[in-house]
Amino acid sequence: MKRWRRSLAFALALSVAGALASPAARAQDAPDEEAQEAEDEAPPPVQQQKGRRKVIPARADVGGKDRRATAADAKGGPSEKDRGKAELPVEERAARGVAIIERGGQVLGLGALLAGDGRILTALSPLGAGNELTARLADGTTVRVKLGHHDRAWDLALLVPQTGKWAEGLTASSRDPVRPDAQIRSFTAARGKVAAVPLVLRSHRSLIGGDDRQLEEAIELGSRISPLDLGAPIVDEDGRVVAVLGRGCAPNEGKPCTPVAFGAPISAIRSFLRNVPPTAVQPAAWLGIQGVSEASQVAKGVRVTVVHPESPADEARLKGGDRAGSDMILAVDGVPVTTPEALADAIRTHAVGEKVPLTLLSGGKYRQVTVLLRAAPDPKAAASKKPEAELPPPSSSGKATEEYRK
């Protein structure tokens, strides 16, 4: 009887051992996806710690994506907003760099915002006298613009925004747009929105431009163009600008020339932008103070010595004067400033019409105020005043974005 019990126990042990071994054998012979399933179902790893067995909990998937995104943002990676823009189709991303040019709410044409610059490249012919112009941007806001430079021959104009600065814009393409495999787009405006439309380019040819000048290598179009689309950028498959829509004239032997729309090529655009006058720049933001560098026992900053009347600083009630009663500016929009030059640089990163927070120290107490920046007054009127340490004048290089100028 005892022998029979021992045999039965031995048989059961063999059976259990076989049952435990079979899944491992099957996993080795199974396809890759079955092996992955077996790995996913494996128990948490075991870590030896101070002679005791410690089970490391498996990482939950819930919220993992958000944690990784937060970590990427903290390390200076692209934000959720930037990633969302990057995921847009090429033509939609390019459309964010197109402005609608208006006068009194009436659409005149379109324009291409220069990347990293904020100025608008468009056609000259739809602008008329060139005054009282506004540009409607991708978010629906409108900004006042002024004509800063123009070329009648190529029908090109550069508009300079007087308030704000649109960060997004378009860059130049180095590819030949007139090729069989090209996928070319232009833009049209409908109900206040900009949309991409296919465009056919036929060839490079000679046309007659403004002032009866000969245009070489103008781009002939094979699609009909609405007059309200003049000034629109023509972009390639990557959303880069290959030309700008303008108006010219096609010569006819022995007959008057025929008005036509054409594409002003990148070579003409680069030449145009190289000749932009230094004065065709956006107005510099103005705070309206004079100050000196100063370090107290608790902070370093720019002590305000003079506040100009009716300036943004005056409206925000900044205090100038002696050390005991004046404000010390410590930071502009969170950026520390310790010299008048650093303060001027920080202000110039913002645009006219923008509200900017200033961190101040006065009377031993910290406070924060918000200033509404405006354009500086006429420099001739301010030339008679000589401050202790005047903030450096804004740069007026007038250089257009290098993507177009190269």
Three-class DSSP labels, 43-66: CCCEEEECCEEEECCCCCCCCHHH
The predicted-structure confidence for 206-233, as pLDDT tens digits, reads as follows: 999 999 999 999 999 999 999 999 999 9
Is residue 272 classed as helix, strand or coil in its secondary structure?
helix
Which uninterrupted H or E stretch holds 355? Answer: strand 355-362
pLDDT of residue 57: 34
Decide if 398 contacts 277 (C-beta within 8 A): yes
Residues 6 or more apart in contact with residue 391 via CB below 8 angstroms: 287, 289, 290, 291, 340, 341, 343, 344, 347
Judge whether residue 11 has pLDDT over 60.
no
Judge whether residue 389 has pLDDT over 70.
no
- Which of 151, 159, 89, 168 has its CA nearest to residue 120? 159
* Cα angle, residue 30 at apex, residues 26 and 34 outer, rounded to 5°: 105
The reported pTM is 0.67
pLDDT of residue 85: 57
Judge whether residue 399 has pLDDT over 60.
no
Number of C-beta neighbours around residue 6 at 10 A: 10
Q: Residue 32 is encoded by which pair of tokens?
A: 């890759």
Which uninterrupted H or E stretch holds 100? Answer: strand 98-103
Decide if 119 contacts 158 (C-beta within 8 A): yes
**Among 7-11, 117-121, 137-141, 198-202, which stretch is predicted with the lowest mean pLDDT?**
7-11
The predicted-structure confidence for 272-319, as pLDDT tens digits, reads as follows: 999 999 999 988 899 999 999 999 888 999 999 999 999 999 999 999
The predicted-structure confidence for 36-70, as pLDDT tens digits, reads as follows: 443 444 444 434 444 443 333 333 333 333 333 33
Who wins on pLDDT, 369 or 15? Answer: 369
Decide if 247 contacts 239 (C-beta within 8 A): no
